[in-house]
Chains A and B, each alone.
Chain A
């Protein structure tokens, strides 16, 4: 999600086109996949933090107390469960749509 993603993308493809053979497209693809995975993990973490802060932290105190920490831990797991449930449900729906066309 950082600007580095966009600029690396452009320069690698620009140089790697036909003749040189210096830039391995396989390597580029692997690097891009890694960057995408990192971006997705960041996105997940950002939304999880937002949701769990809202659920678990009432009036912000001087530190996170034990109950808040327990809540955050459970919340993280439930958020992951939810994400996986949504992913499966969406995938099923897409497959059903394709089967109906």
Chain B
């Protein structure tokens, strides 16, 4: 499998941040010239992306892995949650990769047409 920087795309690909948490598109605009504040914003934004995805995956995986809430999380449910997280990330990567591939083949096609 191809590995790229930021391949997990925790901030994009349908996270549905929708204005919740911190979605600072560029740290440079906020925090102004202060590098300490800028760094702070970058770090906190990243943390918040992580948190948002945990919220989202917990919600999704709860539906798939939890029947009746018992006195503890049994090992079967726990395994299900772990698998669920992995497969969700795989799905996200798959979608991005395939989208990139179809875009490439489309642009190659239209380029040859315009010649």
Minimum distance in angstroms from B56 CB to a CB of chain A: 9
Alpha-carbon distance between A71 and B68 when the two chains are bound, in angstroms: 9
| Chain B interface extent, by class | 35 or more
The reply to whether A47 and B3 contact each other, CB–CB distance below 8 Å, is: no
* Chain B interface SS verdict (over half): helix
Number of contacts between A and B (CB, 8 Å)? 112
Given contact pairs A47-B58, A93-B85, A101-B4, A40 touches B51 in the complex (Cβ within 8 A): yes
Alpha-carbon distance between A18 and B40 when the two chains are bound, in angstroms: 17
Which residues of chain B come closer than 8 Å to A36, judged between CB atoms?
21-22, 44, 47-48
Partner of A47, one of B33, B51, B53, B59: B59
The reply to whether A89 and B86 contact each other, CB–CB distance below 8 Å, is: yes
Is A66 in contact with chain B by the CB < 8 A criterion?
no
Is A75 in contact with chain B by the CB < 8 A criterion?
yes
Interface string of A21-33 (1 = CB under 8 A from B): 0000100110011
* Chain A interface SS verdict (over half): helix
Is A64 in contact with chain B by the CB < 8 A criterion?
no
Alpha-carbon distance between A32 and B61 when the two chains are bound, in angstroms: 30
Given contact pairs A25-B37, A86-B85, A94-B10, A78 touches B73 in the complex (Cβ within 8 A): yes
The reply to whether B33 and A17 contact each other, CB–CB distance below 8 Å, is: yes
The reply to whether A51 and B59 contact each other, CB–CB distance below 8 Å, is: yes
Is B76 in contact with chain A by the CB < 8 A criterion?
no
Given contact pairs A13-B37, A36-B48, A85-B78, A1 touches B20 in the complex (Cβ within 8 A): yes
The reply to whether B3 and A94 contact each other, CB–CB distance below 8 Å, is: no
List B residues 26-80 near A (Cβ within 8 Å).
30-34, 36-37, 40, 44, 47-48, 50-51, 53-55, 57-59, 61-62, 65-66, 68-73, 77-78
Top 10 A-B pairs ranked by shortest CB distance?
A: A89-B85, A75-B69, A81-B73, A78-B69, A89-B82, A100-B3, A85-B81, A86-B58, A74-B69, A83-B58
